[in-house]
């Protein structure tokens, strides 16, 4: 038995052969100013030292799941999503990072009584290369604050890009995820945007203008491919 409070946030980190950057990703979660979270790491049968790196961390908020065989990216993302126990969920790719106030700012937004119909909150993000050098900043343009879900989807369609952001930039309600189902990779390069659009059919988006996460573009990343 434990007297520890239930986590309000589940940060789900799907991993596969991520030995190069996963230590930084994990540390960025453990260093959050907001502490009421669980970190669920699901390793997809890595063949490198990923599990050894994960094992260096001795924090009770970490839960490690090792798949006995490979599920592939979509399967592992969905396994991680299915393990989330918090009211709010964030999917953090293994080579990305959270800024220290990311969870604090996004949880504050979703916890406000007037934002009960907000399905998800996103933020601006810094894009870096494999060596950690800053390349550019991405955001929802000049928009910030509440945006009707269908309006947010239309804005992405008109822009021809994912304005909402990569998974690290988004915190969403678990109930919105339950309605949306699971990730679908029939169009692999918009797997995250497809999911955001489904969640925004029944809720609104809140856009934070601050840079609260880091998105890494490297030769081994799906984004680079």
* pLDDT value of residue 143: 87
Distance CA 19, CA 65 (A): 16
- Hunting for tokens 């799906």 — which residue is that? 222
Report which of residues 115 and 1 the model is more confident about: 115
At 82-120, the pLDDT tens digits run: 999 999 999 999 999 999 999 999 999 999 999 999 999
Helices then strands, each counted (H, E), the chain: 7, 10
pLDDT for the residue 185: 81
Cα 104 from Cα 209, distance rounded (Å): 14
Within 13 A of 174's CA, how many CA atoms are on the CB side? Answer: 16
Residues written for the chain: 225
Model confidence band, residue 2 (pLDDT cutoffs 50, 70, 90): very low
Q: How far is CA 32 from CA 28, 134, 138, 224, in A?
A: 7, 21, 22, 28
Residue 225: which pLDDT band, with cuts at 50, 70 and 90?
very low
Among 4-18, 51-65, 125-139, where is mean pLDDT lowest?
Answer: 4-18
- Rounded CA-CA distance 27/39 in Å is 11
Compute the distance between CA of residue 146 and CA of residue 205 in angstroms, rounded to an integer. 6
Residue with tokens 């494999």: 130
CB atoms within 10 A of CB 33: 11
- Among the residue ranges 67-76, 182-191, 204-213, the one predicted with the least confidence is 182-191
pTM of the predicted protein model: 0.93
Query: For residue range 3-41, what is the model confidence (pLDDT) as tens digits?
Result: 556 679 999 999 999 999 999 999 999 999 999 999 999
For residue 158, pLDDT beyond 90:
yes
Residue 150 confidence class, pLDDT cut points 50, 70, 90? very high
Q: What is the pLDDT at residue 5?
A: 61
């Amino acid at each position: 038995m434990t007297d520890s409070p239930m986590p309000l946030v589940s940060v789900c980190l799907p991993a596969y052969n991520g030995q190069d950057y996963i230590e930084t990703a994990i540390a960025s979660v453990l260093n959050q100013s907001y502490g009421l979270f669980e970190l669920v790491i699901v390793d997809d049968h890595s063949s490198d030292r990923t599990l050894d790196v994960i094992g260096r961390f001795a924090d009770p908020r970490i839960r490690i799941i090792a798949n006995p065989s490979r599920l592939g990216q979509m399967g592992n993302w969905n396994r991680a999503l299915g393990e989330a126990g918090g009211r709010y969920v964030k999917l953090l790719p293994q080579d990305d990072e959270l800024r220290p106030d990311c969870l604090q700012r996004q949880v504050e937004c979703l916890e406000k009584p007037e934002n009960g119909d907000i399905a998800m909150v996103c933020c601006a993000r810094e894009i870096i290369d494999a060596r950690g050098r800053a390349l550019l900043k991405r955001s929802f343009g000049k928009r910030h604050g509440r945006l009707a879900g269908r309006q947010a989807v239309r804005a992405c369609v008109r822009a021809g890009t994912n304005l909402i952001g990569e998974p690290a930039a988004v915190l969403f309600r678990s109930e919105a995820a339950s309605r949306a189902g699971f990730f679908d990779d029939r169009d692999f390069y918009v797997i995250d945007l497809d999911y955001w659009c489904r969640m925004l059919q029944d809720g609104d988006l809140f856009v934070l203008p601050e840079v609260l996460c880091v998105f890494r573009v490297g030769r081994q990343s799906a984004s680079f491919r």
